[in-house]
Structure 1
């Protein structure tokens, strides 16, 4: 509205809609909710918006752009003159939600990047392998809470790509060694196996999967899907399943002393 409002100027709903770019329907909706209502009537009884109403409308639009709902905005406008702390609390909560959304988008970006890299690494992309990766991601999300996934993603981000790749390589090495010991029938109390179990635990601590809740979630995931998971590994399925269970027994033996 040109940024200038004369104290005595008044606007009809149509004039205000044209000046602000809002629809008449939106202004009527704001009126019905008690957010912004025409403050005066003309001599003929027509409702008119005042400069104070327009300033309130600007506040509504500003808060709406910050992602607040209309009921939240109504509460803010009703209280902030006397309680500015209310607005700060509400905006702080909104900031937390926005940051959580950013984190979720960052995880999605990482997942998509991995899938694209997987396809790029193959001369002839294999749709079956690609869809298998998507299926694994979907199963994973059913067993780990959003909070757990957030913490694991934060840990991966803190480590960086090179460290995560090194950790994956180390996991492959540990599985291969566990397969060798398992095939040979080495007792889980053997010093070499105890050292192997210690390295496995240290890897979990590095990646943030060593917490009781994370271990319980991972265990449920493994118990329900060990066959599908083992089919996707570079080792024979029986060897892989045996190695994972062997490492678990070795860790329990180390914890038991």
Structure 2
């Protein structure tokens, strides 16, 4: 405890915080070293002391880690001022939107099934509704993927993304874009593709890719080919410069294969 002129504020030594949070002292030391969770105070003898503000950050770190984010991505999110509560609410909104979309799909498929089970052929409008609901005329990115992947391969991506649950939003919209932005900064700065920092970024990208592809090399190659052919469609950014994306893709491939 440290006593101020008017108030008393509590602090926690690393051992006590580790015990209270279910972490290890070694983990807290590591998080201090990498800048993820640095104690705000030190004793005269140099021992770590964590304040209530540090506990708030610890809670946020654990909340984001539970969603599958890598430590460096968690640090980037928190340092950028992203509120984990807002992210959780965004996830909830996305889940509710998915539930609503599935409800629409169910109604259309029930109607189509009823027509198919009758004596008459289903109306063209019912077929088109069902196709739209399952993505048969989906966004540009999905059509681009369809040029490089079979239907069953695209279904693998959808199924595995659904299995990841709430983490999907963060992985696709927070961590993955962040990794690409950092890699592009290295490329633009002239960092060799063989640099360990670049290779670590690529390794994490490949880990994320495996989460969605199940480690299927053919699906991974198809996704990369789709990005190479039409980065604007795949990134949902009509202004995405194709040459920059392709230069970055080649840079990342050199990092994967250890060539300058």
- Structure 2 length-normalised TM: 0.43
- Structure 1 length-normalised TM: 0.43
